[in-house]
Amino acid sequence: MSRPPNGFYRAAAAALMLGVALDAGTAAADPWVPASGHGVVKPMIRYFYANEAFSPYGFSTKRLPSGPETKTEYRATGIQGLGDGFSLEYDLRAALVRKSSTRHHHTVSTKAWGLEDQEIGLTYGLRQGRSFADSVTLNIVLPTGPSASNPQLGTGRWAIEPDYQVGIVQGRFSATLAMGPRQFLDGAVTQLRTDARLGFRASHRLTLATSLFFVRSIQNRSSLPPGTQAELYNRLRLGAAAEFAVTKRLRPFVAYEVDVAGQGIHAGERVTLGFAFHF
């Protein structure tokens, strides 16, 4: 009897982690629009490591050996209530990326440091109850990351991303879902993106959560402009997180994520440390 590939075990373990979390629930509340002058900011550091890549020939859990890639990312996300049902959302990033490859028994290493692409959005709350909420967001991706760097830090292309977000809270359990297309304005690629979160409030201070992120890219042209390849990938990523409320305003958190399936992209793991400050 043949032994399943390592990717099978990674996918099974991640699915088990998600299944446990389904019994537990989540703690994200993106569909809820804060009142004017209120909101949350989340500075964080994320470390990504990969020495394998998913095959470029089809979406699967199969991993192929690849040169190591690391990314240390400095990120700040936040939501600011504007009043009249509106809020401003932002996702600001900078990173240090290192890559190594071996050719003819010679190792070549490259690195790049600087801004990545930034994202800002305007959200409008539709139904805003204590146990159920939904909202719509129009995001704009700003191509501030250099696409000519090696490794590449940005796509070099503008994009828009309309999202629909929905969330429920039942006692200690909660769940949120955000989904929508990211359309690059050069018309070459459309990404269909889904972000689901489940969580459980284990105590007055401790919240446990899990996440699922899926992106599928659709190539709209038979030939792509130079540099567009960074837009074209498929990925399934699962994660788990814990948040501890030191005070009502200050809530440190830690998260772990793993790529379990994909196509044409590095397959790795990511650890995030940060805190949420509510105001």
Give the residue extent of every domain in the chain: 6-278
What pLDDT score was predicted for residue 226? 64
What pLDDT score was predicted for residue 78? 97
N residues, the chain: 279
Q: What's the fold here for domain 6-278?
A: Porin (2.40.160)
Tens digit of pLDDT at every position of the chain (279 positions): 333 444 444 444 443 344 333 333 333 448 999 999 999 999 999 999 999 999 988 999 999 999 899 999 999 999 999 999 999 999 999 999 999 887 777 788 999 999 999 999 999 999 999 999 999 999 999 999 998 888 989 988 999 999 999 999 999 999 999 999 999 998 788 999 999 999 999 999 999 999 999 999 998 777 666 666 667 789 999 999 999 999 999 999 999 999 999 998 999 999 999 999 999
Residue type, 69: E
What pLDDT score was predicted for residue 224? 66
Tokens of 166: 């929905």
pTM (predicted TM-score): 0.85
